[in-house]
Amino acid sequence: MNAAVRILKIAAVLVSVGWIAPAFADVALTTAVQKMERMTAADGTVTSRLVPAEKVIPGDEVRYTITFVNNGAKAVDAGTVVVTNPVPENTQYIADSAFGSGTTILFSVDGGKTFHPASELTVVRDGVKTSATPADYTTIRWVFGPALAPGEKSYVSFNARLQ
């Protein structure tokens, strides 16, 4: 098995560990890791598609998709489904790629200790406080706003580049 594939498989397991949900809810999640494949047509147009991340190498872009479903008999209260996901080791978050319909997306630059909107994040470089860049992001958090009805599912995702 390619070493990069092992890294992605380990990262997928870490992604699942980042799940936070109310203890009383029967919310399940699954994580998928796919590779972004770009193709250039004869006319020069570039298209993209997602393919299984069976073989990846440094420089490849991968998408992490976390799907969550309410398997319980009762709705999960609005704002209580929270997905927290580390940016996997050996990858770098790709700017503006975090997605989650009906979610508030927050980021951390301190390993998940604190979370803020991207526009409010700062880091200290050479002793000077400065705005954080996507390369500084260590963890992503999605707060799902609506209630999650029984049987309802949704997903969140983000892209990262393998280093």
Q: How many domains does the chain have?
A: 1
pLDDT tens readout for residues 11-46: 333 344 444 444 456 899 999 999 999 999 999 999
Contact in structure between 29 and 68 (CB atoms under 8 Å): yes
- Phi and psi torsions of 108, nearest 5°: -130, 145
Long-range contacts of 38-45 (CB under 8 A, 24+ apart): none
Look up the CATH number of the domain holding residue 48. 2.60.40
Whole-prediction pTM? 0.82
Helix/strand/coil percent split, the chain, to 5: 15, 45, 40
Q: Which of 72, 124, 91, 110 is nearest to 11 (CA)?
A: 91
Whole-angstrom Cα distance, residue 74 to residue 148? 9
Range of the domain at 56: 3-162
pLDDT tens readout for residues 39-69: 999 999 999 999 999 999 999 999 999 999 9
Query: What's the pLDDT at 79?
Result: 94
Taking residues 142-148, report their average pLDDT.
Answer: 96
pLDDT tens readout for residues 114-136: 999 999 999 999 999 999 999 99
Whole-angstrom Cα distance, residue 95 to residue 118? 10
Q: Which of 152, 69, 144 is nearest to 103 (CA)?
A: 144
